[in-house]
């Protein structure tokens, strides 16, 4: 693999991460109340995606500059969807607009419309019991195949 191919993969990963941050910001704000607990989760996820706090602020201030990017890897796609469900539930109050948006993301991420609600509930349950991405993915792997 050439240096240019590696750089292209890095840049693709960065645009996917920025798209993910934009999606999370949208999820946190859709109910009209962007809580500190939501912002703390956003910063934690941003850090794990190598997005600095200043980049996060830029994304928040200019969301229209970020294009939606769907991860090509199914595990990464699930990872991002898990984060979206986590953002929806982190403040313990699920607004109907959050659930609608989360369901829409489920379909955009390629999950069957008739199974999205069940997938969301499974992820919520696993989050409630402290299970991370990997444990949850193992539980639903056949479900999302």
Q: What is the pTM of this model?
A: 0.86
pLDDT at 3 over 60: no
Identify the pLDDT of residue 113.
Answer: 93
Query: Across all residues in the chain, what is the average pLDDT?
Result: 86
Using pLDDT thresholds of 50, 70 and 90, give the confidence band for residue 109. Answer: very high
- All domains in the chain, ordered by first residue: 3-144 (1.10.3680)
In this structure, are residues 116 and 55 in contact, taking their beta carbons and an 8 Å threshold? no
Residue range 122-141: mean pLDDT, rounded = 90
Identify the pLDDT of residue 144.
Answer: 66
Identify the pLDDT of residue 43.
Answer: 95
Using pLDDT thresholds of 50, 70 and 90, give the confidence band for residue 143. Answer: low
Residue range 47-63: mean pLDDT, rounded = 91
Using pLDDT thresholds of 50, 70 and 90, give the confidence band for residue 14. Answer: low
Identify the pLDDT of residue 23.
Answer: 96
Q: Supply the DSSP string of 58-113, one letter for each residue.
A: HHHH-GGGS-----SSHHHHHHHHHHHHHHHHTTS---HHHHHHHHHHHHHTT--H
For residues 70, 72, 76, 82, the Cα torsion angle rounded to the nearest 10 degrees is 40
Using pLDDT thresholds of 50, 70 and 90, give the confidence band for residue 145. Answer: low
Identify the pLDDT of residue 15.
Answer: 66
């Amino acid at each position: 693999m050439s240096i240019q191919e590696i750089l292209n993969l890095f840049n693709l990963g960065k645009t996917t991460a920025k798209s993910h941050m934009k999606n999370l910001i949208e999820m946190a704000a859709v109910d009209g109340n962007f809580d500190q607990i939501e912002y703390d989760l956003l910063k934690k996820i941003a850090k794990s995606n190598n997005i600095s706090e200043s980049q996060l602020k830029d994304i928040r201030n200019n969301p229209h500059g970020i294009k939606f990017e769907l991860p090509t890897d199914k595990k990464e796609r699930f990872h991002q969807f898990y984060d979206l469900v986590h953002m929806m539930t982190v403040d313990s109050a699920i607004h109907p607009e959050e659930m609608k948006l989360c369901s829409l993301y489920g379909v955009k991420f390629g999950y069957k419309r008739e199974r999205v609600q069940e997938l969301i509930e499974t992820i919520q349950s696993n989050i409630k019991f402290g299970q991370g991405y990997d444990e949850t993915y193992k539980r639903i792997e056949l479900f999302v195949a």
